[in-house]
Amino acid sequence: MKNIFLIFTMIAFLNGCSSKINNYAEEIKLFQYQLNIVFADAKKSPLIKEDLKKFKGLDFYPIDETYKIEATLELTPNSPIFEMKTSTEELHLYKKYGIVHFTLNGKKLALSLYQSQDLITTMEYNNYLFLPFSDTTNGTTSYGGGRYLDLEIPETGSKTIIIDFNKAYNPYCAYNVTYSCPVPPTENNIPIEIPAGVKAYKNH
């Protein structure tokens, strides 16, 4: 779970800097820079020692604002708590918070947002939403096990939420098999390419 805390802390930092960012490209470049800072830090990086020594930066798809979407948010308050599968035998408890509906490249899509039942009990991260997904780039230009997005619960009464695939990142098990990473549920399989965010790690 520690990767979730690190990434979400970074997202919160970037949200706080948003008023100082002049344009969208700068916002995403800052996101990429901060992500690379985490990976280059031996105390925080998921990279194994051999890879850390050679690390020069993650590979990203070109920044494309097409993949920043204002989606319609449908809440699912009566959803049960369930065990989300991971890359290991561990099971993490989540609850579906809602479903986002949007159209991308002419395709109508719906994805589920989840709340970690561990994080919801904390003051710092109880506003956190988790969006794991897979798409048709998996196993070619992106990591085969899918990617993640971190979101925050929008203001009360809001019927929309921003989904920005340019901020999609790999689970830590894409870099180091010792991590236990949630596997995107099948309901979040996207039947088109999402060429945005972090690409597959070249050494894995």
- With bands split at pLDDT 50, 70 and 90, how would you rate the model's confidence at 203? low
8 in a structural domain: no
Lowest pLDDT segment from 14-23, 55-64, 116-125, 142-151: 14-23
22 in a structural domain: no
9 in a structural domain: no
Number of domains, the chain = 1
The answer to whether the Cα torsion of 171, 172, 175, 180 is positive or negative is negative
23 in a structural domain: no
* 104 three-state secondary structure: strand
pTM for this structure?
A: 0.89
24 in a structural domain: no
Q: What is the pLDDT of residues 25-81, one digit of tens each?
A: 999 999 999 999 999 999 999 999 999 999 999 999 999 999 999 999 999 999 999
Distance CA 143, CA 141 (A): 7
Question: Which residue range forms the structural domain that includes residue 123?
Answer: 59-188
10 in a structural domain: no
158-177 burial code (b ≥16 CB/10 A, e <16): eeebebbbbbbbbbbbbbbe
32 in a structural domain: no
- With bands split at pLDDT 50, 70 and 90, how would you rate the model's confidence at 11? low
101 in a structural domain: yes
Give me the DSSP letters along 114-149. EEETTGGGSTTTTTEEEEEEB-TTBTTTB-TT-EEE
In the prediction, which pLDDT does 126 show? 87
